[in-house]
Amino acid sequence: MTDPLLLLAIETTCDETGAAVLEGPRPPGGGVPRVRSSVVASQVELHDRFGGVVPEIASREHVRQLLPIVDEALRQAGVGLDQIGAVAVATRPGLVGSLVVGLTAAKMLAMTLDVPLVAVDHLEAHLYACQLAAPERVVYPCVGLVVSGGHTSLFRCEGPIEAELLGGTIDDAAGEAFDKVASLLGLGYPGGPGVERAAKGGNPKAYAFPRAFLREDRLDFSFSGLKTAVLYALRGQDSRGRTGADPGTPSPEVVADLAASFQEAVVEVLVAKCRQALQQTDLRKLGIGGGVAANGRFRDQVAAMASDEGIELFIPPMALCTDNAAMLGVAFPKLAAGQGAELDIDVTAGLVRPTRR
């Protein structure tokens, strides 16, 4: 039997610096790789006071963090650089400055080690996390939903590297809406966990917030109107922005009701669009990736829908849902398909609104 291939993966698409070492079959062999180590340095605290990711700060921090993180991933895997047989890096989509930092480091490593370089799509990687987390099951073909701070996109995935975009958000991503609403309600950044906590004590029916495209066949999302509706409700205004009585500082009860009603609207739309995508494609499996998949209400509701429809559901554990480098294990099927990148490849940005491919 030949030695397994050791792959070093680098992820710097947004505000997490990630490196991982994976062990898997040498091409053209198939099979799911094993994660030997995965290290992530989060920049959340740096961006916290700005209420969102500041691209320039993100790229500078990647420059500072990346090589120590790569060293740590190698150390935790018990692997020397000379044992690495391929380098993978996420080259799209993302913040352009952040992507360039990761790609430059990956090119330098691949060139020095004289090993193949594999360019990975960050969204395909998010979905491949489902397969990494369940190596004994077969995830594909499936409907894939990536729902994070930067993306809300539905895919038809015939295989790990055959994702066809079915629809996506036309404005804010779902996680971005959580972050903005959390900021309005004073619930901290990133907003998802704060909104979820506040929502636990609230009434999800207290406010009838909009659910964009809910009854339409299209598999697109829109969350910016919902965010504005929360703002108006908070200010005591009607849907046209006309002010009612001065609401003053909202009570914890009002914050809880707003959080619960907002969360319910997002969850209902996400689950409904997954159901529609499954029905429209006739696929029987659903894979979900991205930070919003941490939301308990979403997990419960999507699991109920899956059981109702007889669908096999895949949601990775949290560490594989949020940005990480282990999910770049999707490089193994790429290598098996003969897809290594040339050293002159470039990044493709486009963080918030993925274009149809």
Among Zn ion, ligand KG4, none, partner that 11 touches (CB below 5 to 8 angstroms by kind):
none
Q: DSSP character for 3?
A: P
Q: Which residue is nearest to ligand KG4 (CB)?
A: 192
Q: Which is nearer to Zn ion, 301 or 324 (CB)?
A: 324
Q: How far is the CB of 128 from ligand KG4 (least distance, A)?
A: 14
Q: Which is nearer to ligand KG4, 128 or 340 (CB)?
A: 128
Name the residue among 161, 165, 119, 168 with its Cα closest to residue 140: 161
Q: How far is the CB of 52 from ligand KG4 (least distance, A)?
A: 9
Among ligand KG4, Zn ion, none, partner that 12 touches (CB below 5 to 8 angstroms by kind):
none
Backbone angles phi, psi at 137, to 5 degrees: -105, 165
Stretch that binds Zn ion, among 107-115, 148-156, 203-211, 296-304 (CB under 5 A): 148-156
Would you count residue 148 as binding Zn ion (CB under 5 A)? yes
Dihedral-angle region of residue 332 (phi above 0 means left; psi in -120 to 50 means alpha; beta otherwise): alpha
Would you count residue 295 as binding ligand KG4 (CB under 6 A)? yes
Would you count residue 316 as binding ligand KG4 (CB under 6 A)? no
Task: Please give the Cα distance from 82 to 114 (Å, whole number).
Answer: 10
User: Which position has the token pair 């180590």?
Assistant: 37
Bridge partners, residue 37, by sequence: 21
Would you count residue 175 as binding ligand KG4 (CB under 6 A)? yes
CA–CA distance from 176 to each of 36, 88, 302 (Å)? 32, 27, 20
Among ligand KG4, Zn ion, none, partner that 27 touches (CB below 5 to 8 angstroms by kind):
none
* Candidate list 25, 55, 85, 193; residue touching ligand KG4; CB under 6 A: 193
Stretch that binds ligand KG4, among 101-109, 158-166, 236-244, 290-298 (CB under 6 A): 290-298
* Candidate list 15, 16, 61, 323; residue touching Zn ion; CB under 5 A: 323
Task: Please give the Cα distance from 344 to 117 (Å, whole number).
Answer: 10
- Its sign, for the CA torsion 19, 350, 292, 152, is negative
Task: Please give the Cα distance from 314 to 145 (Å, whole number).
Answer: 10
Tell me, by CB under 6 A, how many residues bind ligand KG4: 20
* Candidate list 93, 190, 316, 340; residue touching ligand KG4; CB under 6 A: 190
The total number of residues shown for the chain amounts to 357
* Candidate list 124, 196, 257, 264; residue touching ligand KG4; CB under 6 A: 196
Among ligand KG4, Zn ion, none, partner that 171 touches (CB below 5 to 8 angstroms by kind):
none
CA 113 to chain centre: 30
* Candidate list 290, 316, 333, 340; residue touching ligand KG4; CB under 6 A: 290
Q: What are the structure tokens assigned to 248, written together?
A: 């003053």
Q: How far is the CB of 305 from ligand KG4 (least distance, A)?
A: 17
CB 191 within 8 A of CB 207: no
Q: DSSP character for 83?
A: G
Would you count residue 287 as binding ligand KG4 (CB under 6 A)? no
Task: Please give the Cα distance from 82 to 111 (Å, whole number).
Answer: 12
Q: Which residues of 308-317 are buried (b: 16+ CB within 10 A; e: fewer)?
A: eeebebbbbe
Stretch that binds Zn ion, among 194-202, 318-326, 332-340, 343-351 (CB under 5 A): 318-326
**Beta pairing class for 86-92 and 117-121:** parallel
Dihedral-angle region of residue 186 (phi above 0 means left; psi in -120 to 50 means alpha; beta otherwise): left
What character string, x for contact with ligand KG4 (CB under 6 A) and - otherwise, covers 204-233? ------------------------------
Residues that bind ligand KG4 (CB under 6 A): 14, 148-150, 175-176, 178-179, 190-193, 196, 290-292, 294-295, 322-323
Q: Which residues lie near Zn ion (CB under 5 A)?
A: 148, 323
